Every structure is written in C-alpha cells, then in structure tokens.
Structure 1
C-alpha cells in the first residue's frame, strides 16, 4: 500500500447545464468526498490506495463502494452501518456566482467513525497517510480518530500529508483553528489554499504567512493560489510554480483534491517538488475541464502526455 486515507464520501447531486433545481427536474448523481477524490486520482495514476469509512446500508453507500472498487481502491474494511445513512449533498452551479453546496450529512454513517474502527496494520503498511480537515469537523469521535491516526503514523514512520479543506458550513473558524493548526504542526506535507492560510493564521501578506509556517515547524508546505499557481515553502525558501491555463472551466469543485493527488503522486515517485507541483496543476486542469469531482481525472499515460505537451489525436 502506498497511501492510506479515511473520511466521509457522499453522493452528490447537481443539475445539468447550471439549471436551477427549483425550475428543473433532471439531476446528475456522482460520488464526492475529499479523501475519496484523492484516492481515485492516485489510483488512476497507478498508486495502491486504501480508503476507509462508514457508509449506510443504502443505495448511496453501495454506489460509493462501486465507484471506488472500479478504480482498484482497497475498500475491504469499510464498515456498512445498518443504523445510519450515507451522507448526501446538492451542488448548485450558477454562471455568474460561486457554486453553492448544501449538505445532508448530520448524523451520517461516516460521522460515527471512531478510534475503535482503526486497525494499526493499515498505518504500519502505508508509506503516506493523507488527512483532511473535513474529517475532524464531522464529530468528536471523528476528531479523536484523526489524532489517533497521527499518533500511529508518528510511531511507525509513515509520512502525513494534510489538506485543511476548511468547510465553514460544518464548523466556525475559531473551532477550526483550534483543531486544524495542531494537526498542521504534526504533518510532513501541508497543502492549504492561500485563503485557508489567511483564515488559519489571521495574516494577509505572503511573507508573513511564510514566517508563520516556519514558526509552526512544518517541513514542507505547498500553498495553492487558485488559478495563478502554487507556492513551495521549505527550509526558509520559497518557489512559485504557475498553473496551466484552462480555456473553459466546466466545474471547479474537486480541483484542490486533484492537485493534492497529483503532487503526492510526484512526491511518492521522488520527483522534484517543482515537478510534483506541475503534476498537481495538471491533474487540477483535467478535473475543472469536466463535470463532477473525478470524471476528468487523468491516467498516468494521459498525465505524461499532457506534461510533455502532446497534442492531436491518438490513432
């Protein structure tokens, strides 16, 4: 196993062509969850991934497992919860406004994850543990699980990557800071967005944020700056890597997860940090060019062709 990750995955509903759900009836159902998005992206690139969660004994839980299994992800230890339902979400896109997400995940099966669910061997066998800030926001037991996994990763020498994925619909920023900053201080690879770092640090200027990250003692930070690119902060140095131009953005949701997976893939392949960031940018570009969180994710061959600048039709 290369990567172990865990968290909540939901079935996401959205309308076609940015139509309003109020005025139209047709919807598109897909699988959405930060950790499973990263899992699918890494699996498509040839990595061995184990994903753990709880899902309900319902069609939505079965759809999630069907999707992840189709990509060769190890879901063998996922718990089927007979008492709680799989979480759901509705995603409403507007042409001239930000995408609005409505959650139906309170008391979901995944929110019942706890330290009793974890198996030490999953951590011992992994090279890297990927954690997001969504999981500890779901419940007290989920937060305890996150810190337990971190302790095990430290004990057995697994690397920890952490994407804060701040969701202010799930908790307030003060509570988020209390939980997410201690997690960040224990990770090996930190993957925040620029706006997330502003929220966590209460700072605005990049130079101040860079000093804050140094004070937190994080070995490597990749700070995403949206469509502009990403900053690499390591050992007091900073490097900016621009992103790829996307002429037509179809759906921006899932871009951060695709970026994380692309970067982690490069990191695991021992590529330079700059080349790993370019892989992250490329995966994000693929995703925003298609609808859904994972439909556009590239295979390893497709990623290589894109980075090499290949064009035209394969015959």
Structure 2
C-alpha cells in the first residue's frame, strides 16, 4: 500500500440506480437506465472532478455489478483501491421513478443485507487513519443507519480519524426508510461532539430535533440546534432557500441558492457538500465556501444522475457571475 496523502477520505455505500426512460413508470417500462449513486461517493466524485485527491471506503461484491461502481468512480478520479472485497454479497440497488405533477417522483430501495451493510470495523484500512494521511474524513447518517455493523464501522472510522488528528465531517442525511427518528438521535447525538463540520438539511432538524425547529426563523433553528453540537461548524441547507452557517463562536452567514433550471434534484445535497468542503479545504472564508456549495448544487440540479459532472472551469465561471446569487451576513 502506498503512502499517498488524500485531501478527503469518505466512507459509505454506493448503489446502482435503475430509472425508467422518458418519464415512464416503473411498472410501465420495458427497460432501465443504470447509473451509480451514493451520498459520500457523490460528494467525492464532484470533489475529484474539481482536482482534489479523494479515497472512497466501502465494501463491494466481487462481481460485474461491483465492477460497475468501481469503474464509474475511477472515471471521476476517485481512488477505490481501499474498498473491501465483498465476495458474492449482494449489490445494493434503488429504483427512481421521475415524476411530473400531478404524478410525483418516487424512490424504491432494495439494499437490505447489501455488501456495505455487512462491512465491519475490521474491514477498515487502518493505514489510512494515521497522522498526515488525510486532511478530512467524511461520512453520513445514511452509513450509520444501514446496519449495526455499518454503524460500528463508521463510528470506528470517526474514532480512528480523531485519534490521528484528522478533522471529521458528517452529513446527517436522515432516511426514514433506514431507521426511525428516535434511533437516529440515539446514534447521532453522542457523535456530534467529535465533528469539526456538520452538514444538515433544515428538514432533518425538523424531523430529528423538533424542539430546535422554528418555522419562522432558520437562524433561530440553527442556534438552538447548536446546543447539540457546540464545537462544530454547522451548515444547514434549505433547498431553494439557500443555506445558513453558524460558527462555534456564534457568527452567522447566509447564502441564497443559485438560479437553476431543475433537471433532477437527486444528489443536490451531496453536491453542496462537495462545493462547501472543497472550499473549506482551500482555506476560503465562510461566505465563499457557502457560495461554492450553492454553485455546485445548482450545477447538479441542472444535470441528470446523482453526481455533479462539474469541472473547475465551469465552477469558476459560475462563481464569477455576480447575478447568480446574493450573499448576506
């Protein structure tokens, strides 16, 4: 194993996505478009496309289906050499049925007992969790909610990263189909104090921490939520309403969303994370980091699939547009 230093190491499950063409319904279509998507790998793929060195940790079956995921992430320059082989374990799938009003879009998961759900702490490449091997470790609530062993793996990875002095970030990304709000809170709250960066959708605060929710004031919501993670840099995404950031010192920043003609929303939060985390690694200030997150998210909304197929040139052109969004403090 080499001693490459990574900008970011991410842990999580990536699925094959099957989508019927031409807005057909799942029970109507004779075929499916196959794509690759997963919370952490979506974020890493966009960051790798922007020039960052990214390593993805997971467990994949040793089959053509697992190879499809490996090949796709390699295409975006994500390093998959540390992925644990899952033998003949099953590949996690999800089906996406796009909709137009009055027909609503829907997602159907088929991921129970997948290869990643069977990953254990012993599968982690501990050589990556040494001082100086990575500048940031990133995972999500989806990974913690997959299974008991996946949760133990993610928690061990966070512990190893912290012991090595590697900053940690977490995207809450609550999925009610994986676990209940009560289960999610019981798992997440003890971990919040270990995080330098915490990304959370406004709707997830409403679902998981209703006592912090203030429908009339996003800023009040975030300040109340800060009581659960007082030492973390908090970033709350609000969809078309933009995003708000609160520092441990109490400084508040806000960015409006970039104008985007929506093609597909799936992966938008992961794209925001990619833009924000890449700016944070570049040492940009908080307003710039928020704006970069909003820009990558908007680019993703305007393209199909789960991954933001953006490059540095496109990002810089978008950020240079003074009419794209208005930044406030």
TM class, shorter-chain normalised?
over 0.9
Q: 2:222–2:236: 8 Å Cα contact kept in structure 1? A: no
Going from structure 1 to structure 2, the CA distance change for 1:98 and 1:237 (only over 3 Å counts) comes to: farther
The answer for the alignment partner of 1:129 in structure 2 is 137
Going from structure 1 to structure 2, the CA distance change for 1:87 and 1:215 (only over 3 Å counts) comes to: closer
Structure 1 residue 255 corresponds to structure 2 residue 268:
yes
SS across alignment from 2:98: strand
The answer for the alignment partner of 1:61 in structure 2 is 66
User: 1:60 Cα shift?
Assistant: 1.6
Q: Distance in 1 between matches of 2:106 and 2:137?
A: 30
Q: Which of 30, 51, 75 is the matching residue for 1:70?
A: 75
User: 1:204 Cα shift?
Assistant: 2.0
| TM-score, normalization by structure 2 | 0.90
**What does 1:294-305 correspond to in 2, within 5 Å?**
294=307, 296-305=308-317
Q: What RMSD, in angstroms, separates the aligned Cα atoms of the two structures?
A: 1.6
Q: Distance in 2 between matches of 1:38 and 1:253?
A: 12
Task: Kindly tell me the number of residue pairs found equivalent between the two proteins.
Answer: 309
The answer for the alignment partner of 1:101 in structure 2 is 107
The answer for the alignment partner of 2:258 in structure 1 is 244
**What does 1:176-215 correspond to in 2, within 5 Å?**
176-202=184-210, 203-205=212-214, 206=218, 207-215=220-228
SS across alignment from 2:91: coil
Q: Which of 24, 30, 33 is the matching residue for 1:28?
A: 33
Per-residue Cα deviation, 1:82-104 (whole angstroms, up to 9, x for no partner)? 23111111011111255311111
Unaligned runs of 5+ in 1: none
The answer for the alignment partner of 1:268 in structure 2 is 281
Q: 1:201–1:209: 8 Å Cα contact kept in structure 2? A: no
The answer for the alignment partner of 1:142 in structure 2 is 150
Unaligned runs of 5+ in 2: 1-5, 324-329
| TM-score, normalization by structure 1 | 0.94
